[in-house]
Structure 1
Amino acid sequence: MASPTEPQSGPAPVLTTDPSPLRVHLRVVRALLMREMSARYGRATGGYFWAVAEPVGMILIISMAFSILTRVPEIGQSFMMFFATGYLSFNFYRVTSQQMSTAVRNNYSLLQYPNVTPYDALVARLLLQTLTNLFVAVIILSITIWWTDEPVSLNFPLLAAAVGAATLMAAGAGFMNAVLFHIFPTYEQVFSIVNRPLFLISGIFFTPESMPTQIRDLLAWNPLVHVVSAFREGVYPVYHPAINSLEYPFAIGLVSVFFGLILLKRYDERLAER
């Protein structure tokens, strides 16, 4: 009989605890984020250079064209700065929603793993594209301010609010489109056709104040006009837009995210099928 002071023989008990669902989700999102970053920028020559080069090229070309058509922009003295503020703020919605809309399709093989869900793939793309948009906006705005010597006074809280509203709208559109594109393939073409004119009617090339009252009232229904106007107000100290109610795009974004999450919950299993 073993004495009380002798150690007991046999394997020591091992206490294991399963990770919480939140911890699993965070790990999966982090892995997908690193994979997306490597696939999109790590393998391409130049990496993040092309993420900056594309909007820079667009801004330069459009600025040169508008400089030929007219001499003075509606705000400030530089067409480059005027167009950059509109293009960059609009891109927080456009590029993010596009990337999220195809996240499920492009990560189909990963969805076969038990811990990977369509929601994880969408959140990973939302985070990556938002960080990329911020990086691109900071680089381009810094270069444009230095190059044009345009007198600006950056209102960072207002800029952050405009960027947040555009990103929230993009998240809502991305969540819904990821499901609807899969269930109704024709809807992808319809959405592309309907969404295309937004580039022209969201105030990138003009200010709402330059439009007649009736047209301005119609433009106010476009939430992206409020985003672009608020972003420009955050750059130009002398600009006080007539259309600048960020509560509207924030409300649109919250409602679309809500319905997008409901669709994801309803068709979660179906999204993993081809």
Structure 2
Amino acid sequence: MFDVIFALMMRELKTRFGNNRLGYFWAIAEPIAQVMIMGIVFSIIGRNSVSNIPIALFLFTGMLPFKLFGNLLTQLSAAVDANKGLLSYRQVTAIDPVITRIIIELVTFLLVYVLIFSVMAWLGFNAWPDNVLGLLSASTLLIIFTVGLGLILCTAISYWKDASKFTAMITRPLFFISGIFFCAVMIPPQYWHLLDWNPIFHAIELSRDSFFKAYESPVGSWFYLSFCALVSFSSGLALFHLSRQRFINL
């Protein structure tokens, strides 16, 4: 299994980044460009900080977790369908391309996260998280939730090809309501219920709560995020396991 995953990883890296010399560069440039654009918008309206947090750090702590969610969900939902030709080999099982894509996305996220915040620290920002364990816990719960959702979509695609369109339908609206460029304290309490059903919003709120000593989230719930992660991951694994024979016969 280790050999299969290693071979699939080399294949994925060559397919995704190898044909484009700037492939690795875009993994870093995309979130930076988006943060720069939103930072300019905030500067135009006269805001240089949010809850005493520099706007660049505030945006990066929302953008990077959401990019992890979006990229991981997109890659996992198509993991089996994109590698179905390899499932005819006895050594390759349906879970192998899933594990491969999880590893690639997590390593990419970690490298981009460390690189961006290292540069921010070099520029003079206080870019070291106040609560490292809390930040890791929020990121881990977000990953577990996303993996479960990705397995559900991956299974759904094996029954209905057009289910792949749900990935964009999920990620695009969530971009605007997950707290990337705003936080709970900027919203009147009577409207919190419109957003606190969203586990991504809780993950970003808890990440900022852990990262910045100056920010304390009024709505971020560890219990709710953990519950969503458990339900999503359990459901995804169960559906994927029940459909394992179908993947081979695609």
TM-score, structure 1 length as denominator? 0.84
Give distance in 1, aligned partners of 2:197 and 2:123.
35
State the partner residue of 1:134: 110
Deviates more, 1:208-217 or 1:190-199: 190-199
Structure 1 residues 272 and 151 mapped into 2: Cα distance closer, same or farther (>3 Å)?
Answer: closer
1:234 aligned counterpart, secondary structure: helix
Contact preservation (8 Å) 2:129, 2:135: no
Map 1:1-274; keep pairs closer than 5 Å: 25-147=1-123, 149-150=125-126, 153-274=129-250
CA RMSD of superposed structures (Å): 2.0
Give distance in 2, aligned partners of 1:235 and 1:262.
34
1:38 aligned counterpart, secondary structure: helix
Contact preservation (8 Å) 2:132, 2:210: yes
Structure 1 residues 45 and 195 mapped into 2: Cα distance closer, same or farther (>3 Å)?
Answer: closer
Letter in 2 for 1:51: A
1:214-237 deviations in whole A, cap 9, x for unaligned? 211232211111110111122211
Q: Which runs of 5+ in 2 are unaligned?
A: none
1:205 aligned counterpart, secondary structure: coil
Give distance in 2, aligned partners of 1:167 and 1:92.
8
Identity fraction in percent:
32
Letter in 2 for 1:140: I
Give distance in 2, aligned partners of 1:151 and 1:110.
43
Give distance in 2, aligned partners of 1:63 and 1:170.
27
Q: Which runs of 5+ in 1 are unaligned?
A: 1-24
1:182 aligned counterpart, secondary structure: helix
Contact preservation (8 Å) 2:73, 2:149: yes
Post-superposition offset of 1:128: 1.1
Give distance in 1, aligned partners of 2:145 and 2:97.
18
Letter in 1 for 2:113: A
Q: More helix per residue: 1 or 2?
A: 2
1:173 aligned counterpart, secondary structure: helix
Post-superposition offset of 1:200: 0.9
Contact preservation (8 Å) 1:168, 1:250: no
Post-superposition offset of 1:153: 4.4
2:112 aligned counterpart, secondary structure: helix
Contact preservation (8 Å) 1:92, 1:163: no
Give distance in 2, aligned partners of 1:213 and 1:156.
28
Contact preservation (8 Å) 1:154, 1:235: yes
